[in-house]
Each structure stands twice: as C-alpha cells, then as structure tokens.
Chains A and B, each alone.
Chain A
Amino acid sequence: MTGLTIEDRVLKVIATSKRVPIENVHPDSSFESLGIDSLDRLNILFDLESEFDIEINDEEAKQVQNIHEMIEGVTHLVQAKTDSSPTE
C-alpha cells in the first residue's frame, strides 16, 4: 500500500465494495449519487475496518454523512492507532 494515501485507500475500498469504477468515487461524492444505501454502508464500514485494522464504533459511524467525513473519520482512527503504538 506504499504510495497510497488514506484517502486513496478509502476511495478504493468504497469502489471495490460497491463494485463501481474507482473514477466515479470522489471525496465529495454523496452516498446517494453512488447508490450507497444503509446495507452498502455496513459493508463499506466492515471493509474499512479490515483495510486499516481499526474499529469504527456504531455511534460515530451513524454521524458520517458523506465520503469526505468517512475519510476524515478513518484518518482520525488510524492516527489514534499510530499514536497508541509508537513502536510499530
């Protein structure tokens, strides 16, 4: 995954999970424009947890309204994980 930013990886997870071309997925895309419903969101959260080895809690996940916020949330969780395990 070297060379890919967190944003790149989140967009890739969304594209793979939803089976849409990566070119169609942008940080400012809305869930609606990509046809992402509640069950798709569950799948994406599951795949993001695997991709980044993080745990996304239900309450925070519910607050996420768009892909930009999803990238932000994942970035925070990855940052928190890095901070708590400095030896890695």
Chain B
Amino acid sequence: MRRVVITGTGVVSALGNSTASFWQALLSGTSAIREITSVDTSQVRFKNAAEIREYKPEEHFEARDIGFMERFAQFAVVAVRQAITEAGIEWTTNLRETTAVITGSCLGGRAVEDSGYWELFHNNKNRVHPLTIPLSMGNAGASHICMQYGIEGPAYTISTACASSAHAIGQAFWMVRSGAAPLAIAGGSEAPFFIGGLKAWEAMRVISKDTCRPFSAERSGMILGEGAAMLVLEPLDSALARGAHPLAEIIGFGMSADASHITQPVATGPSRAMRLALSDAGLAPEQIGYINAHGTATEANDRIETAAIRNVFGPHADKLAISSTKSMHGHALGASSALEAVVSTLSLKHGALPPTANYLTADPCCDLDVIPNQARLTQVEACLSNSFAFGGLNASLAFKVFP
C-alpha cells in the first residue's frame, strides 16, 4: 500500500474562486451568506444562501464551449484547472491513460431540466433544449474534466447527496493507495440555485430564514451553497520524486449506512464511519486534533453529530476542536465534502483552524469546542472531515500533516 498525498487543490465558492481567497475568508470568519439574487425568490419562503457572485463563464471558457457545460460542470473544470496547476502535473501518454477522475454531485445539471420543464408545462412549448441530457447528467463534470485534459483512465461520478464528494475522494484515495491508479483527481461540484430545487428544499422545512449557525442554540436550519472543490491525489514517493510539494497526507476513509430512516439521522452510523476512518488510517482517537464537522445547523444533525463524536472519542472529545465551515460557504450539497476536504488539507498545512461562524450561544446538546467565530492558530497532527447524507449514508475522511 502506498502513502497518498494531496498535491493540488482548486476551489470555486461563494467565499472566493481560488483556494487562497477561500482560505483567507475562512480564517477571517467571513460568511458568504446573503440574499439570493440569481433566482426570483418572491414565492420562496427563504431568501438567503451562499451564492457565487463573481463568476463569469466567459472568463473561463471559449464562447463555443459554454453552451455545452451546465454551471455545475463549469465549476468542476475551473476547480480542476487550479488543482492541476498547483500540483504541477506534467502529462504523459501513460499518465493520461491511467489517471482516475472521480467526482461527486447531488443534483448534476438539474437546473437545465427545470427550465426545460417550465417551457413544457407553463409556456406550452412542445420541446426542450436538445442538450438537456448531456447538460444535466450527473457525470458531466467528470466527463468534461477528462475531455479537457485527455484523461482516459477510470472516471465516474458518485451521488450520495451531501456525502457525494466525500465518497468520491475516499474512493480515489483507495485507488491511489492500492496502486489501481497512479494519480487521481477527486472532488465535487454543485449548482443548486433554480426555482424547482429551491421549492423542494422549502418543502423539506430545513432551510433557515436567517443564516447558518451550526451548534449554536439559535440555529434554525441549513443554508444552501454552491461551487466546486477538487483535489489532486498521488502516491507520496512519486510526488517527491517529481519535486512536488505535498500539502497534506490523506490517510483514512470510513463509510457506513444508518439503515434507519430516509431523513432522520442516528448516531450509530456516523460513529461507525468515524471509527472506520480512524482504523483505516491506523490512528488512535487521541491523535485527532480537529474535526471539520458535517454541521448543517439542523437540530437533528448537530445533536446527533455531537453525540457520535462523544461516542467515538470518549474523554478526548473535550480536547479536540471541531468547526462547521458551512456557516461560511453554505451547504453546497455534493460539493460540500470536497470544499471541507480542502479546509482540512489547508488547516494541516497552515497550522490554523477555521471557526464556526455566526455562533451566538451554546446549546447544551452541542457541548463540544466548536471554535466559535474566531479562527485559531493551532497545528494539529491529524483531522477528520465528516459528511452525513440524507438517506443515512455516512463518510469520514482522515488527513495527516505532512511535515
């Protein structure tokens, strides 16, 4: 088994369209949650989200290509370009033929279907856009990444709701560790702002009308976000041999299913995912100094996640720090775990832990150290990143500092 390191990251997010701007905003505790502007929300009961305001497709793509890529697929490619540039990958024929591309997305390009169905059902049109299928398919991000770089290796997309990109990164990690792929590009992308999607979330009654306040007594639900994050994973030995600079090591992956309820979480599944990530990593619980929590700011998630962490870590739970950066970049669904994997990577590289923003007062049922509002300069040895999807599908990734 090979040790696997992260040598490049790329981010498109409401906090910034580069890893550097994303990290700066996280450290300053800036929340990107504002009133939604891309969709008319006059008929929607919630108004706020973490939208990307500074994104212009023509700055990233040729005019002739834009029409072939839905927003979520564009985000995926833009994030991959950053990650590959940072990693300094030099493509060879063999590398192109064997590199893996594994992406996560919850909705894919469903906004295209939404507008097509509007024409059908509301405007009595008899046809939809001819590219509706290739624009909306969930794997469009992975396909465009492959086409962009001529990557011909194993490529696929995982859709496990809010854990999609954690499962994608975990699979990619295992492929590189086992030698099945010499290089992997993994992450997720999402563009969930379209009226039908917003109405669906409204009907779930889990979206805050205020802001995202994870673990805080005043929390009132989740806030949607959008964007993409991608990571380049490669074996440590070959990264060092080509002179690359590892940002952090990825060392463990655990996953589990609650097998309980389609929306109501239980603590046992998340606990098992964390335990499995620790054992896959060969880490003792005491080696974990930080957990990037799933932390959606719903009452159910935050209490269950707190209980699950206490269950796994015992007395050490009071010594480790956790935070939910969804308070700043929103819940970008299938892209969230990838954004948060980048957070974990950068926390280890820079020796700093981003806060849980928008925090007001403590909830006795969420009584861990949640790094309220102020980032902390702390170098931890290892961290976990948790992702728990609707449907009870859980994933936890373990990362370790690369000295």
- B contact patch SS: loop
A57 to B262, CA, bound (A): 23
From residue 68 to 87 of chain A, which have CB atoms closer than 8 A to chain B?
none
From residue 25 to 78 of chain A, which have CB atoms closer than 8 A to chain B?
37-39, 42, 45-46, 55, 57-59, 61
- What are 12 A-B contacts defined by CB distance under 8 Å? A37-B261, A39-B262, A39-B263, A42-B203, A42-B204, A42-B205, A46-B203, A55-B45, A58-B209, A58-B221, A59-B220, A61-B205
Q: Would you call B264 an interface residue if the criterion is a C-beta within 8 Å of the partner chain's C-beta atoms? A: yes
A54 to chain B, nearest CB (A): 13
Q: Which of chain B's residues has its CB closest to A38's CB?
A: B264
- Given the known inter-chain contacts A42-B203, A42-B204, A42-B205, please indicate yes or no for A37 contacting B45, CB distance below 8 A: no
Question: Is the interface on chain A under 10, 10 to 19, 20 to 34, or 35 or more residues?
Answer: 10 to 19
Question: Is the interface on chain B under 10, 10 to 19, 20 to 34, or 35 or more residues?
Answer: 10 to 19
Which B residues are closer than 8 A to A by beta carbons?
45, 203-205, 209, 220-221, 261-264, 300
A58 to B203, CA, bound (A): 10
From residue 3 to 39 of chain A, which have CB atoms closer than 8 A to chain B?
37-39
A60 to B209, CA, bound (A): 13
Q: Which of chain A's residues has its CB closest to B209's CB?
A: A58
Contact A58 B205 (CB under 8 A): yes
Contact of B45 among A38, A45, A58 (CB under 8 A): A58
A38 to B263, CA, bound (A): 8
Q: Which of chain A's residues has its CB closest to B46's CB?
A: A58
Residues of A near B205 (CB, < 8 A) are: 42, 45, 58, 61
Contact A39 B45 (CB under 8 A): no
A37 to B220, CA, bound (A): 19
Q: Beyond A42-B205, A58-B45, A58-B209: 11 further Cβ-contacts under 8 Å?
A: A38-B300, A39-B262, A39-B264, A42-B203, A42-B204, A45-B205, A55-B45, A57-B45, A58-B205, A59-B220, A61-B205
